[in-house]
Structure 1
């Protein structure tokens, strides 16, 4: 562990750090970056939890004063989102040792590959992870801003299309501030905008880092597949493989087998770190989306409210789709290793090397997955299952409101 940490820190100063700079900044703001100074890490984490507690406190206060089911339905979706952010923050906090090992591997694994083509493959996947992080962070912040600023719609309509009386105020999300909301509307709006945007940093940091981990292990599988696919580069090397089983090419196969083992270990550690928190998140997404659909159907007559709920629904769908897409990508890359070996020149290599390939084949026929509670597998197929389940709950909840 000491050697791993020191190598990881030294490599952070290299060009490899460029691919993870967005994640480093986001996790540092959330007090979760493994290489932060302890005092700095605690300060940022406490500050983030203070902002999040501001959001949760006002939501709980509103929930407590609700007198009917309609009021409760309005309060639950944003309240469940705040709980999800809290789960994501504590996932990194309580698994900080595992996160440290995973992050160390991001930097160390680059040193395994001396072949320029293989390093280019790793760069490609690292660059993809970086772009995913940038796009996802932008989407969440823009979505939060769009959802929050819908509270200004009644005020804007009062200016553009004035009525005899002012329209009722609409807060960014159901909350109770124990003051005159009409009089202090803009103060409340600014508080909601700031606390919501900063609180979402915890969600963004968690999700973006997970995307980078998955892209990294997909890159490892791609490099391993490249090694197996190019067992021979020319006829001279083929002859060398048959007559001299201990030459460089033979050692390359041994290296690829060890790299595959390390990739599988990375996936297992990733799965063990996130499987339990994912269970809570899937439950929140399923129930939250159902309730949001109910609210949208009820508020169709109210343009401002309907717009806010449709934005929230779209954000939930994109959030779940991103996880499902990455889970499917991990499945596909892990299974492709078997195909790459099958279509290689495996029949021309020594028997000892063929036995090594059998070990990889045996493991690569089983897909590497990311699951929630070892039950729900993140994939595109499971994505449609969650949507169907949410629609079923929506139908049941709608029947109670008729």
Structure 2
């Protein structure tokens, strides 16, 4: 069956193309969309910076910081792809050319399964982020709706989707400002989604490659064209060639994992810092607005979104760790004792290397895993406690 690559990667291609970050775009098209998204982000950040100068107390600063830090995070993600475009092209090339390594249908089915998982992660993650963004933004309409349903003697104050100063009367130009914020937020979140979803696809791809390598070592005594066949006798040279071919493929996967980690490690360091501080401040705001259901819900949605964002990275990092370690277990569980001693020695090389895990790190310090995810939550709660005590 012919492989339809567009089916698995078309959504990611469209998202990155909109940012001018798809490696195979035409140069002029790249520049146009890249300048467009930077212009949109500038239109978001300038009013937010102006709001800082307008603030007269710490409460106002706390309200403005989380959305501003989110805008900075989006900018970091976009520039990560821009300044690492050569590495991104190499990683993207792997998505297409690595399929040539698969010599039988079983291996291709494994890769299809992981590619399908990457596709679903993209759709689910994009849907969640867009829905959360729209929910957070449209709550600004609650005072207007309440004015219609439960009118007061005076109109309720307008509530913007996020704190910003537009140098005009916000009541008079509320709908213009609201439309600008919604439009800018949607485009900005597209940058975040495109970066994260492509990263998920890369991780799923490398996990699929580890799974294929493990499958090969598990069926080391079987025919390459159909591992389900009966065990067949080979000469020592044939066994050695088979193992050396698998070792070469394993080395290629490790190189892919190292390139993936080195490309994003600096960006991850900035993002982890932003998420930790942003979540702490959002928790402070949530605790201070418990009396106001609308505001409390807005901050709760923002906190959950930040946790979801960090959890997705941690879950994928844990998945990469698990798959890199499974290679050693699959070799051990194979029929290695039935092959010649010379070939067994080759397996020891792979087992020794498989003990060293492949990871995603932030600044070569923080390792993305489920255990580290709980550490970040604990750190955020500690900062939240400190900030709460300061504001009392």
Q: TM-score, normalized by length of structure 1?
A: 0.94
1:212 to 201, 204, 212: 201
Q: Find out whether 1:200 has 2:189 as its counterpart.
A: yes
Q: Corresponding residue for 2:233?
A: 240
Structure 2: distance between partners of 1:245 and 1:186: 77
Task: Assess if the C-alpha contact under 8 Å between 1:154 and 1:304 holds in 2.
Answer: no
Once the two structures are TM-superposed, the CA of residue 238 in structure 1 deviates from its matched residue by: 5.0
Task: Assess if the C-alpha contact under 8 Å between 2:280 and 2:381 holds in 1.
Answer: yes
3-state secondary structure, aligned to 2:155 = coil
2:144 to 155, 158, 164: 155
Structure 2: distance between partners of 1:307 and 1:14: 45
Number of aligned positions between the proteins: 387
2:295 to 305, 308, 315: 305
Once the two structures are TM-superposed, the CA of residue 206 in structure 1 deviates from its matched residue by: 0.4
3-state secondary structure, aligned to 2:233 = helix
Task: Assess if the C-alpha contact under 8 Å between 1:224 and 1:260 holds in 2.
Answer: yes
Report Cα offsets for 1:190-237 as digits up to 9, x if no partner.
000001101111111100000000000000000011111112249997
- Once the two structures are superposed, the pairs formed by residues 214-363 of structure 1 within 5 Å of their partners are 214-233=203-222, 240-241=233-234, 244-247=235-238, 249-363=239-353
Q: Corresponding residue for 2:164?
A: 175
3-state secondary structure, aligned to 1:240 = coil
Q: TM-score, normalized by length of structure 2?
A: 0.96
Task: Assess if the C-alpha contact under 8 Å between 2:286 and 2:300 holds in 1.
Answer: yes
2:23 to 27, 30, 34: 34
Q: Corresponding residue for 2:132?
A: 143
**Structure 1, unaligned stretches of length 5 or more?**
1-12
- Once the two structures are superposed, the pairs formed by residues 53-132 of structure 1 within 5 Å of their partners are 53-132=42-121
After the TM superposition, list the runs of 4 or more consecutive aligned residues in structure 1 that deviate by more than 6 angstroms: 234-237
3-state secondary structure, aligned to 2:135 = helix
Q: Corresponding residue for 1:8?
A: none
Once the two structures are TM-superposed, the CA of residue 352 in structure 1 deviates from its matched residue by: 2.5
Once the two structures are TM-superposed, the CA of residue 14 in structure 1 deviates from its matched residue by: 6.1
Structure 2: distance between partners of 1:201 and 1:118: 34
**Structure 2, unaligned stretches of length 5 or more?**
none
2:375 to 364, 385, 391: 385
3-state secondary structure, aligned to 2:69 = helix
Task: Assess if the C-alpha contact under 8 Å between 2:240 and 2:342 holds in 1.
Answer: no
Report Cα offsets for 1:294-326 as digits up to 9, x if no partner.
001111111211111011001001000000000
Structure 2: distance between partners of 1:386 and 1:152: 33
Task: Assess if the C-alpha contact under 8 Å between 2:221 and 2:231 holds in 1.
Answer: yes
2:34 to 45, 63, 72: 45
Once the two structures are TM-superposed, the CA of residue 250 in structure 1 deviates from its matched residue by: 4.1
Structure 1: distance between partners of 2:242 and 2:372: 38
